[in-house]
Amino acid sequence: MEEKPFKRKIYTQLLQWKEESMGKTALLVEGARRIGKSTIVEEFARNEYESYILIDFNKASKTTKSLFEDLSDLDYLLLNLQASYHKTLTPRKSVIIFDEVQRCPLARQAIKYLVEDGRYDYIETGSLISIKKNIADITLPSEEDRIQMYPMDYEEFRWALNDDSTVPLLRQFWEKQHPLGAAHRTAMRDLRLYMLVGGMPQAVSTYIKTKNLRKVDEMKRKIIRLYADDFMKIDASGRISRMFMAIPSALSRNASRYVSSSVIGTVEEEKMTELLRSLEDSKTVNFAYHTNDPNVGMALTKDENRYKLFVGDTGLFVTLAFWDKSFTENVIYEKLLGDRLPANLGYVYENLIAQMLVAAGNELYYHVWPKDEKHYYEIDFLLSRSNKICPIEVKSSGYNSHVSLDAFCMKYSSRIGERILLYTKDYQKDGETTCVPVYFTPFL
């Protein structure tokens, strides 16, 4: 029996594109590999169209790919596709999917003419890192909308576990600014499970089938090896792979920035920029950039040379953090589930918060400034809200103080909206500071 695809929020965006575009643009769904792009796009085609063709360019024959070399006769091309895939397409009621379109750059170039032809809709999927490496000799179509897809967010994870009520209930508590009380412990336990499993559909599926975190860890390791192989295709020296694998250790040092040279040695500036752009385009990581003058419009003072790196999926982050240990030695699973995570592993929560903020549509910024000659203050995340900024300090457990948050709000008092401490305890107010449990992060 065929498995039912997981419910994903991007489905609503696909519907919106179909209704608004009316065939006048194609849609490119970008995102890291193994996040479920192909699955959800095919599910959409199956539900919303009379018929569809899915061309997986990882598997397509040379004959199929060669059809896109000559666009002088679109009737010939489209008839051949229908014959090859044994599908009958109906004008304005069918869609053609170019899956892993980076494997056939000429197919992407053909989008311009296929959209102009107007008979069918077109959806492309691909990993941006691979797409950019395969477009040097083609003309990019302007008739193309793009949407970004991410690993399953916390609500999608709960949906996969047949739980449609938890996140809407959490939202109600947030809107009413009420603590959860006795339910807080359960809410944190559920969130910790998400931290361990993560949002990669294959890992989630493995957990649902087996309820075995060892099996989940094995699946996540396969995905990480796949990413490493992809990085080697882009940079045979292995430097991008090493930068990716070093993210947990970099965060564990609580440094004010990710220092690439400490991982891969000294690299000339132009080459370093290329490596970083490739890593960012892979969508396997989330960049948080330092803003030199925190204010509304933080992109204006974004420091391209000062940044932190987070793994795009916290489940993968957990596995990476203990990459050199077997599962039986991986104490983080036991300690996280039992709410006994030591303070020096608090960076796992920081990665989770980064992932949740990005999934909710936020860009990541932070700010560091000197406290004295040897120490510094740091605001972990900054959000722009209306004409104010919202500073966020992260604590992985209880808290005794929020010194950096207090100092920041004093220094930039006229710019501050709500000031937030994200931590693992229940919701409360501490003077002007709102102390927010981590599971409320998506609502900020």
- What integer pLDDT is reported at residue 165 of this predicted model? 97
pLDDT tier, 28 (very low <50, low <70, confident <90, very high otherwise): very high
Identify whether the C-beta of residue 405 lies closer than 8 Å to the C-beta of residue 391: yes
Mean pLDDT of 243-258: 90
Cα 225 to Cα 237: distance, rounded to the nearest angstrom: 16
Residue 240, C-beta contacts closer than 8 angstroms, at least 6 positions apart: 231, 234, 275, 278, 279
Cα 269 to Cα 277: distance, rounded to the nearest angstrom: 12
Indicate if the pLDDT at residue 330 is higher than 70.
no
pLDDT tier, 400 (very low <50, low <70, confident <90, very high otherwise): low
Mean pLDDT of 106-125: 95
Place of tokens 């991008």: 240
**Amino acid (one-letter) located at 385:** R
- What integer pLDDT is reported at residue 263 of this predicted model? 93
- What integer pLDDT is reported at residue 318 of this predicted model? 93
- What integer pLDDT is reported at residue 115 of this predicted model? 96
**Amino acid (one-letter) located at 295:** N
- What integer pLDDT is reported at residue 128 of this predicted model? 59
- What integer pLDDT is reported at residue 1 of this predicted model? 40
Mean pLDDT of 126-136: 59
**pLDDT digits 0-9 by tens, 162-182:** 999 999 999 999 999 999 999
- What integer pLDDT is reported at residue 390 of this predicted model? 97
Using the Cα atoms of residue 91, residue 31, residue 313 and residue 154 in order, give the sign of their dihedral.
Answer: negative
CB atoms within 10 A of CB 336: 21
pLDDT tier, 134 (very low <50, low <70, confident <90, very high otherwise): low
Secondary structure of 10-58 in the HEC alphabet?
Answer: HHHHHHHHHHHHCCCCEEEEECCCCCCHHHHHHHHHHHHCCEEEEEECC
Residue from 34, 18, 28 nearest 312 by CA: 34
Using the Cα atoms of residue 413, residue 417, residue 421 and residue 422 in order, give the sign of their dihedral.
Answer: negative
User: Which ranges of 118-200 would DSSP assign to H, the alpha helix?
Assistant: 128-132, 154-160, 166-176, 184-197
Question: Which tokens belong to 36?
Answer: 């479920």
Cα 432 to Cα 406: distance, rounded to the nearest angstrom: 9
Question: Which tokens belong to 86?
Answer: 């044994």
- What integer pLDDT is reported at residue 136 of this predicted model? 55
Indicate if the pLDDT at residue 137 is higher than 80.
no
* 3 state DSSP class of 290: strand
CB atoms within 10 A of CB 440: 19
Indicate if the pLDDT at residue 131 is higher than 80.
no
pTM value surpassing 0.95:
no
**pLDDT digits 0-9 by tens, 408-420:** 999 999 999 999 9
CATH 3.40.50 intervals, the chain: 10-148
Q: Of all residues in the chain, what percent carry a pLDDT higher than 90?
A: 78
Cα 38 to Cα 6: distance, rounded to the nearest angstrom: 12
- What integer pLDDT is reported at residue 41 of this predicted model? 98
Indicate if the pLDDT at residue 428 is higher than 80.
yes
pLDDT tier, 3 (very low <50, low <70, confident <90, very high otherwise): low
Between 12-16, 52-56, 99-103, 412-416, the lowest mean confidence (pLDDT) is in 99-103
Half-sphere exposure of 254 (CA within 13 A, CB side): 13
10-148: which CATH topology? Rossmann fold (3.40.50)
Cα 211 to Cα 6: distance, rounded to the nearest angstrom: 17
Indicate if the pLDDT at residue 354 is higher than 60.
yes
- What integer pLDDT is reported at residue 344 of this predicted model? 63
- What integer pLDDT is reported at residue 256 of this predicted model? 85
Indicate if the pLDDT at residue 342 is higher than 70.
no
What is the chain's mean pLDDT, rounded?
92
Burial 345-358 (b: 16+ CB within 10 A, else e): bbbbbbbbbbbbbb
- What integer pLDDT is reported at residue 57 of this predicted model? 95
Mean pLDDT of 142-146: 88
Residue 258, C-beta contacts closer than 8 angstroms, at least 6 positions apart: 247, 250, 307, 308, 309
